[in-house]
Amino acid sequence: MLFRKNTLLQEIDYNNLPRHIGIIMDGNGRWAKKRGLPRSAGHKAGAESLKKIITEANKMGIKYATVYAFSTENWKRPKQEVDYLMDLLMDYLVNAEKTLAGENVVIRAIGSRAELSEEMQRQIIKTENFTKDNTGIVMNIALNYGGRDEILNAVRNISKDAASGSIKTEDIDQELFDRYLYTASQPDVDLLIRTSGEQRLSNFMLWQVSYAELWFTPKLWPDFKPKDLHKAVLDYQNRGRRFGGV
């Protein structure tokens, strides 16, 4: 059976990789429940999954990945769970400095930072600075991220710049708007993956997914393996992207 292990990977066309993948990492809680474990155990397993998948995406030569780690709506969860998620994300950022930076990954956080603890805000800056000159995949961790919040933030900054005269209202086009997003200068999302069987956007990258191919799997995020990523990329390559043309 060994020779069959990498067949999916061998079918991938490396000249047609998605430039940017988005991942809605969903199903940690259900994964834990199935095992009679607390939800926190699911989040912990989910963080391990993330490391493996980013490492794999980087190896494959994918240039950008945005992963949904905490939404602007996730504050509605019990305080205990929110605290646990924040601690886990903090650990992730600290460890990523060593492990993922060693793998040449550029780590960035996207989302609204003001609501995060000062400690977390400092760590984000530290991790970003530590990895900014790396040349591998750019991983955006969407942390206190909401698509509507991102769009409003852009609108506010555009208004300020228009009021101060540094931009003209007539110059506001899609390309300019794009530069005001958290993902400024990055390509749009080509492939959006959501695990756990849910088929919705949950406020993720509303602007950037406008022409993304959507790929859903019933697998829960902690069970998502490199071979599932290969499958998603292969399926993506077999879709006919028309962008409104024929």
**Residues binding ligand IPE (CB under 6 A):** 24-30, 68-71, 74, 85, 196, 198, 200, 202
Whether 157 is a known active-site residue: answer no
> Residues 74, 95, 153, 157: which is the catalytic one?
74
Give the nearer residue to ligand IPE in terms of CB position, either 75 or 211.
75
Question: Active site includes 74?
Answer: yes
Residue 67's nearest CA partner among 57, 75, 80, 77 is: 57
Please enumerate, as own/partner, the contacts of 115-121 that have beta carbons within 8 Å and a separation of 24 or more: 115/75, 115/144, 116/86, 116/143, 116/144, 117/86, 119/90, 120/86, 120/89, 120/90, 120/93
Cβ closer to ligand IPE: 30 or 231?
A: 30
Annotate 58-79 with b (16+ C-beta within 10 A) or e (fewer): bebebbbbbbbbbbbebeeeee
Q: In angstroms, give the least distance from the CB of 132 to Mg ion.
A: 31
> Out of 22, 23, 26, 70, which residue is the one contacting Mg ion (CB under 5 A)?
26
d(CA 245, CA 17): 21
Asked if 228 touches Mg ion (CB under 5 A), the answer is no
Judged by beta carbon distances under 5 to 8 A according to partner kind, the member of ligand IPE, Mg ion, none in contact with residue 74 is ligand IPE
Sequence-separated (6 or more) residues with CB below 8 Å from residue 98: none
**Smallest gap from residue 89 Cβ to ligand IPE (A):** 9
- Closest to Mg ion by CB, 26 vs 213, is 26
Residues that bind Mg ion (CB under 5 A): 26
Active-site positions read 26, 74
